[in-house]
Amino acid sequence: MIHFIKNWFDKIKEINRKYSTPRIKMTRAVKIALFMLRLYLIILVLILVYKFLITSKMVG
Amino acid sequence: MKFSSHLYYEYRRVKKAILLYLLLAGPGIIVMVADNDAGGITTYAATGAKYGYGLIWFLVLLGPIAYFIQEMTVRLGAVTKRGHAEAIFDAFGPFWGWFSFIDLTIVNWLTLVTEFIGMTAALGIFGVPPYITVIGVSVIMGIMVLQGRYWTWEKITLIFCGLNLVYIPTAFLVHPSVSQVIGQGIIPHFPGGFTNELFFFLMANIGTTIAPWMLFFQQSSVVDKGMREKDIPWGKFDTLVGSLFTVFVAIFVIIVTGTVLKGMNIESAAQAAQVLMGKDKYIGTFLAIGLFDAGFLGAVCISLAGSWAFGEVFGWAHSLNHKVKEAAWFYACYFLALVTAGAVVLIPGAPLVLITLFVQVIAVTLLPAALVFLILLLNNEEIMGKYKNTLLQNIIDSTIVIAIIILSTLYGISALFSGLFGG
């Protein structure tokens, strides 16, 4: 089992190494798009956390 | 003589073109028809029951939207020979790669559960126990992929796509007034005014038009089929035919429920089929068959989209042209997703409503990212060469992507905070 998990971690490390340098040229447009995407996901996570908290409060 | 030889030449040319299309047809039609999955049919059935024919014009608009998004995956797949998951890893690095991959795996699995919910509910109308449905579907889907050829899998799936046309005879059985369908359905208007509830229905219809798995599925499918750059025009035509197909099916579902169930609040397509069964057993039966087929096609495509993504990212053999022993992990992923999703539906008291709700919420975390990556990749000259987006394509695609992101996000939020838009 430990061997199996270790193999998986090694595989993930190998994938991270393989793709460590993004191929796409980081132009201004790409940087802005990725920044907006991060912002969008953060806001979405905050909404989900808020929903979770008010639901827990109601159940409690 | 000259005329007849010209006619014969034209006949041969058209025949050759049709044969070539039949050879290359597949990914576009399959993804578009599968887009009308169990959730999609439920949305259309509920829309028809609520607003009659009043929103048919809106569904017509969704056809081009789906086409413009999906044709980008054809170009990207044919040029890079990579699936969407691998393309994201390669272009944007491990952070966005893992984010998309893990999100896709979760969304796909949850959506797969909803397809099983649809299929078991549809066959439940005929008295088939859920476990028989789950086992039967898993066996059929297993046979479809294990025969070892992409081409055979694709043609079998196209037969199931044809079954989706069952809604057309069903619509004729309900004897709709053609003048009313045209009069109320074609001219853009908001039946009953632009209310919160109507806005919710519009968002739900947009939400079912583009799902994250569709991008991943079609691109991987194009790669597995072995389409090359010269096949792009045919791939685009295939996608166009598929988008027309999907709009037709959606319109006919609306005509059925808009004629017979107008004014009713429909929670699911299975409920609509059940009610219709009481009115006319043929109409109810056809609707139930259509729902089962929709769920089946959705399950076929979603489970494959996930397995292809696993294969691409982990570097395993991941083609339907491989035998089981050559691509064991690829097929293992396929069956694992299928069996676990099917098993969830069989668990007594499983939170199926919560799962359905969760799909909408999780999908909005992945869809914007997948769409933005698609646009960025299609604008990269180094990757796309002469197939990169033109200015006109960028204007159209970016407008569609921004609209989809806004509306699908609002739809996801409305699923979290029910009543926000009257849904």
Mean pLDDT value across residues B215-229: 92
- Chain A residue numbers with beta carbons less than 8 Å from the beta carbon of B96 are 34
Position B37 pLDDT exceeds 90? no
First to last CA, chain B: 67
What's the CA gap between B59 and B62, in Å, rounded?
5
What's the CA gap between B28 and B67, in Å, rounded?
9
B368/A37 Cβ within 8 A: yes
Which pLDDT belongs to residue B355?
76
Which pLDDT belongs to residue B276?
82
Q: Which two tokens stand for residue B308?
A: 């292809």
Residue B369 in contact with partner chain A when CB distance is under 8 A:
yes
What's the CA gap between B330 and B334, in Å, rounded?
6
Residue B90 in contact with partner chain A when CB distance is under 8 A:
yes
Burial of B391 (0-12, 13-18, 19+ CB in 10 A): exposed
Q: Which residues contact B98 (CB under 8 A, 6 or more apart)?
A: none
B92/A34 Cβ within 8 A: yes
B53 and B254 Cβ atoms separated by less than 8 Å: yes
B89/A51 Cβ within 8 A: no
Average pLDDT over chain B, rounded to an integer: 88
DSSP string, B1-48: -HHHHHHHHHHHHHHHHHHHHHHH-SHHHHHHHHHS-HHHHHHHHHHH
Which pLDDT belongs to residue B129?
93
Separation of CA B82 from chain center:
21
Q: What percent of chain B has pLDDT over 70?
A: 98
More confident residue, A58 or B397: B397
Q: Which two tokens stand for residue B366?
A: 């992945």
Question: pLDDT per residue over B290-322, tens digit each?
Answer: 999 999 999 999 999 999 999 999 989 889 999
B92/A24 Cβ within 8 A: yes
Provide the whole-model pTM.
0.89
Closest-approach residue (CA) in chain B for A29: B376
What's the CA gap between B9 and A27, in Å, rounded?
51
Question: pLDDT per residue over B262-283, tens digit each?
Answer: 878 777 777 888 888 878 888 8
Residue A11 in contact with partner chain B when CB distance is under 8 A:
yes
Burial of A35 (0-12, 13-18, 19+ CB in 10 A): exposed
What's the CA gap between B377 and B356, in Å, rounded?
31
ipTM: 0.89
Residue B415 in contact with partner chain A when CB distance is under 8 A:
no
Q: How many CB atoms lie under 10 A from the CB of residue B62?
A: 19
What's the CA gap between B29 and B42, in Å, rounded?
20
Distance from CA of B54 to the nearest CA of A (A): 33
- With residue B142 as reference, give the H or E element that holds it: helix B130-146
Mean pLDDT value across residues B361-387: 87
Residue A35 in contact with partner chain B when CB distance is under 8 A:
no
Position B1 pLDDT exceeds 70? no
B336 closest CA partner among B328, B348, B325, B326:
B328
- Chain B residue numbers with beta carbons less than 8 Å from the beta carbon of A29 are 376, 379
DSSP string, B83-106: -HHHHHHHHHHHHHHHHHHHHHHH
Position B392 pLDDT exceeds 70? yes
For residue B125, what is the DSSP state? T
The answer to whether the Cα torsion of B28, B398, B84, A36 is positive or negative is negative
Which pLDDT belongs to residue B422?
54
- Chain A residue numbers with beta carbons less than 8 Å from the beta carbon of B379 are 29
Residue B97 in contact with partner chain A when CB distance is under 8 A:
yes
Which pLDDT belongs to residue B404?
85
Question: pLDDT per residue over B204-217, tens digit each?
Answer: 888 788 888 999 99
Angle made by CA atoms B219, B371, B231, in degrees to the nearest 5: 30
Summarize chain B as % helix, strand, coil (round to 5). Answer: 80, 0, 20
The 3-class secondary structure across B248-275, one letter per residue, is HHHHHHHHHHHHHCCCCCCCCHHHHHHH
- Chain A residue numbers with beta carbons less than 8 Å from the beta carbon of B90 are 19, 23
B310 and B329 Cβ atoms separated by less than 8 Å: yes
Interface residue of B76, B88, B90 to substitute, partner A, most A CBs within 10 Å:
B90
Interface residue of B76, B95, B101 to substitute, partner A, most A CBs within 10 Å:
B95
For residue B372, name the pLDDT band (cuts at 50, 70, 90): very high
Question: pLDDT per residue over B123-163, tens digit each?
Answer: 998 999 999 999 999 999 999 998 878 989 999 999 999 99
What's the CA gap between B22 and B26, in Å, rounded?
8
Three-class DSSP category at B394? helix
